[in-house]
Each structure stands twice: as structure tokens, then as C-alpha cells.
Structure 1
Amino acid sequence: MSLITLTTDFGTKDHFVGAVKGAIHSELSDAKIVDITHEITPFNIAETAYIIKNSYKSFPEGTIHIVGVDSELSEDNKHIALALDGHYFICPDNGLICMITSDIKPTKIVEINIHDRVESSFPVLDVFVQVACFISRGGSLDVIGKEIKKYKQLIEIQPKVNQEQTKIIGGVIYIDNYGNIISNISRKMFTDIGKGRDYVVTASRYTFTKVFNKYNEVVDDGAKDKRQFDGNRLALFNSAGYLEIAIYRSNLKTVGGASTLLGLEYRDVISIEFLPPNTQEFKPI
């Protein structure tokens, strides 16, 4: 039997998560359910996509992922089920799929049609659970709905490159538990556009001329007391392959995180400007 994961913005105070799990077990008494998170910032599509994209690959093929963020059905926000990279996703067509599928395209997408039989203000419980359990029992996507070829694209959450290929303009899509700031600029984009050129990363009024691969690379190996580097700001490519602005060994209760210390929030701009060869001094444009 397939694993079923849950990703929502429901939080854990209310009954919603428990009700969804109860409904799954009522359909499949021996279902295996895994919570990815229920602490998505309400209605935050970019944050949802980032978390799903960087978690689903850790699950075995055949896993069914229920995504309940901004899931109320409307003419502009239909419900879809899709097969992607050996996994199944049941979610609203609100733009989150365009981030998940930036590298891998779905093999099949259907628009869920059981709404003709179910009127609901809680579609994750009344619709998504039914679809997930049907798939888990071996059901085909073709029975769930009509195949579609297109899904909603959210251009504003994708990084942009200027015409001269000298600048990537991205933005903050997620702030993690440590207050670190994750952008939508991937290492691949950085490498493809940069082509080995020197660069300057700009976030708010702060600039970085080096991007690390690990947090502790900011520490001087010859330092007698490495604690002196606590609170230093740095840029790195994180384990998910995205440009991150961080505070070394940050603690939100003491030192603070990059978000608060640098004054950056969701959708704020982070950019990388690539310098011409033999540039001696960087002058912001």
C-alpha cells in the first residue's frame, strides 16, 4: 500500500489535520500517513512548492502527496491530480506545480471531476482524501478526471535574467526555522548564467562576493575560538541547491536570524550581478 503524505497550512491547533487522517483511515484502515508539514504560512504557494520539491524525492516511488494550501475550489483554482517522477500529487492548480516541475515534467495531469458528486468547503477532507485512497487501491488517474496538458504558471515567483545575461533578479521564497532566507535562484541557474565570472550578490543593503557550500566555511580554520564567527552573515547554496542568505549559528532567541537582522521578508529582491572580465571594482548599477 502506498504512503500518503500531507502538506498543509492548517497548523495543529484545530481539528483539520486530525479529521483528514481519520478520513484516510476510514477508507484505508492500514494506511501509512506521513506529515511533511502543517506549518506552511497560510496561502503561501512559493513556500509550499519549495518544501514539496525538496521533500518528495526522499519518499519511495508510488507515494501519494496530498497538498492542502489555498485549496478552495473556484473557476480559477481547479483541483488536479498528477503523476510526476514516479509519485502522485493531489493539489489545487494554483501555480505551485510550476515550481515543482521546473526540471521534471508530469507524465499525466487530470482535472478532478468528483466535485459533481461532492459539494464541500473542506476539499482536502472531502475530495483529496477520496482521490488519494482511490489511487492507493490501484485506481487510474483516467477515472478521476479528464486529462489536461496545461497547468497554471506563476511567472512572478520565477527568477529573471536581464537581456545582457549579466544579472539574475530573484526573490525570497522561504524563511526557515533558523531565520535563514532562501531565494528562488538555483545553483544551476547561477552556473549556467555566470559561466565562471566574478559576481556580487545583493540582498537588501548587504552584498556578498563569495557563495559558500557549507555554513562552517565562513569560519577561519586558524581561529583559536571559532565562536567569534557566530552571527556572521554569509551566502551559500543550501542542500536543496538554492541560494540562501544565512547567519552562522543563528539563534532566533539570542543572535537573531538573517530575516530579522538583514530586514528581508517574503518576496523581497535578491540579485546576482556578474562582472565583466578583469573588473577591479564593483559599482552597483
Structure 2
Amino acid sequence: MKTLTLLTDFGTQDAYVGIMKGVITTIAPTANIIDISHNIPPQDIITARFQLMTAFPYFPEGTIHVVVVDPGVGSNRRAIALQFPSGYIIVPDNGIIGGVLGLENPIATVELNDPLYWLNPQPSNTFHGRDIFAPVAAHLANGIPMTALGTTIDWQSLVQMPIPTAQWSREKRWEGCIQAIDHFGNLITNLRGDLVTNQNWSVDLGEHNITGHTTYANARHKEPVGLVSSDNWIEIAIRNGNAEEYFTATIGDKVKLTFESSKKVDS
């Protein structure tokens, strides 16, 4: 039984997700389908990139990940499939793959241009999730070789949207940005948690300086707190609150990391 995941911006109000699952299970009845999320903000490929990168390492080898956040649907943007050492990703060629490309290089990459494996040789201009991505994933789950699904292409020709890299500045401090905002309003930066191991630190966001702690509980109620997330990114939170609203923050806002030798490290 093959595991497939779905990551979309479709929400759950409409039938879109259910239709994709219906297409998949019609072709591959034993497929084990797992929903990563369907609450990506509409057309938000940056958030989709982050969520795919975050989830990808936690699935069994050979898992097929289907991502449909596709503002270019119906245009000449490519539909692609990539094989990695740990699994497959089927996705529009719009940069969403950029986060995973920072983890692994693909073994093979294919443009999904063979209508034999589509639901319909004349797909809808608005629902490639149903007409291309879902049926192709199901055929792959049934054992069709990925290279049979279309034309082999060079992965370096893909739309490139890598995760922004933190920089060591002239001020002798790490500078980065907010790369994602989660459901709780926590601001996830692109600064790795390894930078602050056994250090006293704080992070600047605009005019605000937020002290780093080891847990949310080290901060007072409704107090800003910096800490290392479960995925080893430095994040900014509000204990029992919402940092996105508190700071009026958005993805891309700049942050700066400061080391402070005079403070006691949390125990």
C-alpha cells in the first residue's frame, strides 16, 4: 500500500479535496492518503514551500507528495514530478519545490506532459489537481515508472525559489527574515536554532528586542519570547498570544540576532 500526501490551498468548504481523493482511489484503490494541510492561504507558494519542506522528512521512504498551490494553473507553467532518495513530489513548477531542494537533490525530474496518465486528454484550465496531479500520483502509486509519465528534464531548469539564507552582517551579527507564520501567529525566522545553543541571545524585529528563552513558560503572560522551534528555527512568539498580530508582522520582515553575555541562560 503506497502512501500519498496532499498539500493544497483548497480549504475544506468545497469538494475539491474530496474530488482529488476520489480520482486517486479510483485508479489506486489501496492508496493511503494523508492530508498535510488544505489551509495554505490562497495562491501562497511561499507558505506552501515552507510546509512541504517541513513535512517532507517525516514520511516513509517512497511516499508520493502531491502539492497543488497553483496560481499559474492553465498557463504554460509546467507540471512536474521529482524523485528524491526519500520519496516523490508532484507539483507545479512555480518554486514550491525550492525548500526541499535545499535538503536533497532529485534523482530524476519529469515534466508531466503525457496525457495517457491524465484524467482527461483536455484538462480543465482551472483544476489540474483533479485532471493531472491526482491521476499521475495514482498511476505512480500503482507502479508506473516516473520516467514513463512524461519527458525527463534537468532539475536545474526548474523555477528556483530557495529558502532565504541568513547573512553574517558588517555589524557582526546574524541577519535574517520571517519565512513563515504558523496557525498560532508564531513568527518563524530563517535563523537556525543551532546558532544560539548554550548562548544568551535576543532577536530584533523592527524597534522591538525580544529576549531568547528555552520554553514559552520562561516568559510572562502575554510577553514576547524568542525560542527555538521544534524544527530548529528561531521563532518569535507571544506567550498565550499571537505574535503576528502583536507586531503587525508579515513574511519577509527583517530580523537580527544578538548575543548577550551578561544574562543567565534558562535552565
TM-score range, shorter chain: 0.7 to 0.9
1:194-217 superposed Cα distances (whole Å, 9 cap, x missing partner) = x9987652112211353x34323x
1:21-75 superposed Cα distances (whole Å, 9 cap, x missing partner) = 1111211223221111100011112211221222222221111111000261433
Match of 1:233 among 213, 216, 224: 224
Q: Secondary structure at the match of 2:97?
A: helix
Q: Is the 8 A contact 1:73 1:79 kept in 2?
A: no
Q: Is the 8 A contact 1:214 1:238 kept in 2?
A: no
**Shift in Å, 1:5:** 0.8
Which range is displaced more, 97-106 or 165-174? 165-174
Which range is displaced more, 16-25 or 200-209? 200-209
Gap regions ≥5 residues in structure 2:
263-267
Measure the CA separation in 2 of the matches of 1:246 and 1:90. Answer: 33
Measure the CA separation in 1 of the matches of 2:155 and 2:224. Answer: 44
TM-score (norm 1): 0.80
Shift in CA distance, 25/165, structure 1 to aligned 2, threshold 3 Å: farther
The corresponding residue for 1:126 is 131
**Shift in Å, 1:249:** 2.7
The corresponding residue for 1:267 is 252
The corresponding residue for 1:65 is 65
Measure the CA separation in 1 of the matches of 2:171 and 2:106. Answer: 29
Kindly provide the amino acid, as one letter, of the partner of residue 91 in structure 1.
V
Kindly provide the amino acid, as one letter, of the partner of residue 152 in structure 1.
V
- Does residue 244 of the first structure (1) align with residue 244 of the second (2)? no
Query: Between Structure 1 and Structure 2, how many residues are aligned?
Result: 255
The corresponding residue for 1:17 is 17
1:149-199 superposed Cα distances (whole Å, 9 cap, x missing partner) = 3122126x51342564834332222222211111222235x36xxx99876
The corresponding residue for 2:210 is 208
TM-score (norm 2): 0.85
Measure the CA separation in 2 of the matches of 1:32 and 1:196. Answer: 42
Shift in CA distance, 129/176, structure 1 to aligned 2, threshold 3 Å: same
Measure the CA separation in 2 of the matches of 1:28 and 1:68. Answer: 19
Kindly provide the amino acid, as one letter, of the partner of residue 239 in structure 1.
S
Q: Secondary structure at the match of 2:99?
A: helix
The corresponding residue for 1:152 is 159
Measure the CA separation in 2 of the matches of 1:243 and 1:132. Answer: 35
**Shift in Å, 1:95:** 1.1
Q: Is the 8 A contact 1:208 1:235 kept in 2?
A: yes
Match of 2:176 among 166, 170, 188: 170
Kindly provide the amino acid, as one letter, of the partner of residue 27 in structure 1.
I
| CA RMSD between the two structures | 2.7
- Does residue 138 of the first structure (1) align with residue 140 of the second (2)? no
Measure the CA separation in 1 of the matches of 2:185 and 2:65. Answer: 27
Q: Secondary structure at the match of 1:13?
A: coil
Which range is displaced more, 199-208 or 79-88? 199-208
Measure the CA separation in 1 of the matches of 2:206 and 2:51. Answer: 24
Q: Is the 8 A contact 2:166 2:191 kept in 1?
A: no
Measure the CA separation in 1 of the matches of 2:63 and 2:29. Answer: 17
The corresponding residue for 2:7 is 7
- Quick one: percent identity of the two aligned structures? 30
Q: Is the 8 A contact 1:114 1:127 kept in 2?
A: no
Q: Is the 8 A contact 1:159 1:168 kept in 2?
A: no
Q: Secondary structure at the match of 1:135?
A: helix
**Shift in Å, 1:103:** 2.6
The corresponding residue for 1:185 is 191
